[in-house]
A and B are shown apart, each in its own frame.
Chain A
Amino acid sequence: MTENHMHNIGDRVDNRYEILRFVGEGGMQQVYCARDLVLGREVALKLPKNSSAKKRFKRSAVVSAKVNHPNVAKTLDYLETDSSPYLVEEFIAGKDLKEGLLQQLGIVDPYLTAKILHYLAKGVAASHNAGVIHRDLKPSNVMFSGEFNLSEIKITDFGIAKMAEEEIVNAVKDGESSTISASATVMGALPYMAPEMIQEASKAGKPSDIWAVGAMIYELMSGQKPFGFGLAAVHTIIEAIPPQKPAYIDKNLQFQSLGNELYTLILECLNGHPEARPTADELVQRCEKLCYPVVERQIGICKNLYLTYGFIRSDGGDTIFFHFDSIYGNKPTVGSRVCFSAFPGSPYPRAHPVVLIQGVNTNP
């Protein structure tokens, strides 16, 4: 427990929610896992960190409560105590895409990327159909559970963006001339911000969310932010210079066809003209046609490597064969942890695809 935490374990809020643990924080709010003493369930309890966030907190709760979809975190309650307003959301027992996927895998194979895109598009479509724009879609605002199987994918933190917006725009304006170290909020949001939003925050619309989806999907499949990191990205975003095709797509023909389909979709989402981007509904329709195998993912350790193939010892204790052609992204070395799907084979099952687990801190 650090001293910045606004609650201690065991605190009771409104005599109903008991704080179980600190989950995390963004620029605007802190998140706790709490037990709802009336319904006996775990919930995510969010509270604003400063007075400007406080002012808009109810608005953000109301906005997110309008969206009801399996790929959007459900708003359960909103309450105000003497000290603070609180937003109560369904608790997702998992991690966000940044911490749980990008910082783990670094590069995500096209099969898993396609699934994530499909579910994100569905969640965004449901919000847009309810008249809600997210404005701040980024990997840390997408929660998932089920480890690398991503059995649940849910967008969270609607409306929070509106609070951060002014701060971001100010930073961008001062941007290149000044050496200010922009806040974490700004730096986190910028790589996914659409050009129209950077130029004038009030122009943020539904297409800006689509841009953000394109930017996130590109980052998953390439391990790179499409327009770079930090304030240097501003120029590239405003010019909407299309990011390069991730090199791994063409390395193996097995990944190429789906990889190219995804890359085409990404470029359409990252079109500099908002009106030229697909709508969320269109994106969902396109995703429905994508073919990708949904096979359970396992984790294991790369045990030995030969000229063109190697063996994995799965966490379940099985020996699995893999060919180097099945690797997407960086090649594992002996002892590396890998994520893979296994198929029946002789004398050992065969893995495909194989993705290196890089561990923490490879992704800013």
Chain B
Amino acid sequence: MSSGIPSRYVPTEKVLIGGMGVVLVCQDTNLDRKVAIKFIQDVRDQRRLFDELTALQKIRSKHVVQIFDVFLNEADRRVGIVQEYVSGDDLQSFFADRSSLSIDEYLKVLYQISSGISDIHAQGLIHRDIKPNNMKFDQANIIKIFDFGLARFSGKDDSTVGFVGTEGFAAPELYISGFVPFTNAVDTYAFGITAWYLSGEEIPKDLLRRPPHLATIPSFSSIPLGIPDAIVKVLDRTLTEDATERPAMSEIKDILGNYLLHGKHRGLLVYESNTYTLETINQVVKLGVKNYGSIHIKYDGFNFLVDAVNGSVFVNNQLVEKGQALPKSCVITLEDNFGKRGRLFLTFDISNPEVVL
């Protein structure tokens, strides 16, 4: 097993069987740390594999496992990929006991996965094998995605006639026979299935057919966790037949991130030497000075909205309308009611904690 491994890597007892075959946990004696070495057997197109590995290096994401080294055994055309070793359980086993999973935890997990995939797509790459056992929590509880669909470089996979990915997670377009160009929407589809799996609910049978029958599948709203409407909508779109109708992963990430900040914003209002903070959901602040225009601002948990307006009120010098959301930083001008151009100025700044995992 260990033949052909550079001597700096000393195999430990631990062998992981992953979606892509055997992964050997080794001690890197140069740096005194554990690494995970994955082998791709019988590589036919070495140059293309190395090109892909080069591309993978360009992904800037805290959610994607780092590659440290690559070595090649000329004799049996076996390539070893040395990666950072993440000691935790993969998401398939982590969620084996989901009885206590809260909606918040669930959405935080989805947020991390969608951030990772979105980072991969931002680099113009496709993962090709998104599924829960290709993701792990590290010690700091950050989800790491690994096992890019590199198995296709292995000669022994030729029998599967170009089919890549894992059944059940494979988008419908991957079942079309012959050479089919596909897009990063295959990752979006696999993310949708992953989201279904992680909810703890049984995956609808129609999703497990080959190819999946998407016309009859239930909405994410049927999952008892109680997924908020806006998120249900975007998750439902991940499982559409037409790949072009699936949302971009960055859109999914933004919607999830926005939800995770629900109720955590703070609006700071400054008038002369007074400050007032608006941070409770449904709280309304009424600004009004006798003989001047007035405005009511309401926090709905996501935005600070103009709840009512009387007279001439400007936000960053634009006439304000009821229902509009205030920009993250603005000056509110109240004009006098007599057309004398008397004006009072207030500043309003919105801040929020960063999405914290």
Contacts and interface: CB of A to CB of B under 8 A. Distances in A.
Contacts of A256: 275
Contacts of B69: 38-39, 76-77
B140 interface: yes
Interface in B65-89: 66-70, 84
A331 to B, nearest CB: 18
A258 interface: yes
A70 B140 CA distance: 10
Interface string A268-298: 0000000000000000000011111111000
Interface string B142-174: 100000000000000000000000000000000
Interface in B109-158: 138-140, 142
A254 interface: yes
Is the interface on chain B under 10, 10 to 19, 20 to 34, or 35 or more residues? Answer: 35 or more
Contacts of B296: none
A155 to B, nearest CB: 14
Given A65-B31, A258-B351, A346 B50 contact: no
Interface in A43-90: 61-62, 65-66, 68-70, 74-79, 90
A113 to B, nearest CB: 13
Interface string B52-74: 01100110101000111110000
Interface stretch (A21-29, A214-222, A337-345, A355-363): A337-345
A70 B62 contact: yes
**Chain A interface SS verdict (over half):** mixed
A92 B57 CA distance: 13
A184 interface: no
Contacts of A291: 265-266, 351-353
Given A38-B69, A40-B50, A69 B140 contact: yes
B233 interface: no
Interface in A317-364: 321, 323, 325, 341, 343-347, 349-350, 352
A257 B275 contact: yes
A295 B318 contact: no
A79 B30 contact: yes
Contacts of B54: 39-41
A294 B349 CA distance: 12
Contact of A74 (B66, B265, B315): B66
A126 interface: yes
B329 A341 contact: yes
Contacts of B50: 39-40
A344 B353 CA distance: 22
B32 interface: yes
A199 interface: no
A61 B351 CA distance: 39
B33 A65 contact: yes
B284 interface: no
A75 B265 CA distance: 37
B329 A77 contact: no
Nearest to A118: B354
A293 B349 contact: yes
Contacts of A126: 140
A344 B320 CA distance: 12
A39 B70 contact: yes
A152 interface: yes
B137 to A, nearest CB: 13
A74 B57 CA distance: 13
Contacts of A321: 317
B58 A350 contact: no
Contact of B316 (A69, A77, A344): A344
B318 to A, nearest CB: 4
Given A38-B69, A77-B68, A343 B31 contact: no
A65 B84 CA distance: 10
A292 B32 contact: no
A181 interface: no
14 contacts: A39-B53, A39-B57, A68-B138, A76-B68, A76-B69, A129-B140, A288-B356, A291-B265, A293-B349, A325-B347, A345-B315, A345-B316, A346-B316, A350-B330
Interface of A: 38-41, 61-62, 65-66, 68-70, 74-79, 90, 111, 115, 118, 126, 129-130, 152, 253-254, 256-258, 288-295, 321, 323, 325, 341, 343-347, 349-350, 352
Interface of B: 30-33, 50, 53-54, 57-58, 60, 62, 66-70, 84, 138-140, 142, 265-266, 268, 270, 273, 275, 277, 314-318, 327-331, 347, 349-354, 356
Given A65-B33, A323-B331, A344-B327, 5 more contacts: A39-B54, A39-B70, A41-B58, A254-B270, A341-B329
Q: Which 7 A-B pairs have the closest CB atoms?
A: A345-B316, A40-B54, A70-B62, A291-B351, A41-B57, A346-B318, A65-B31
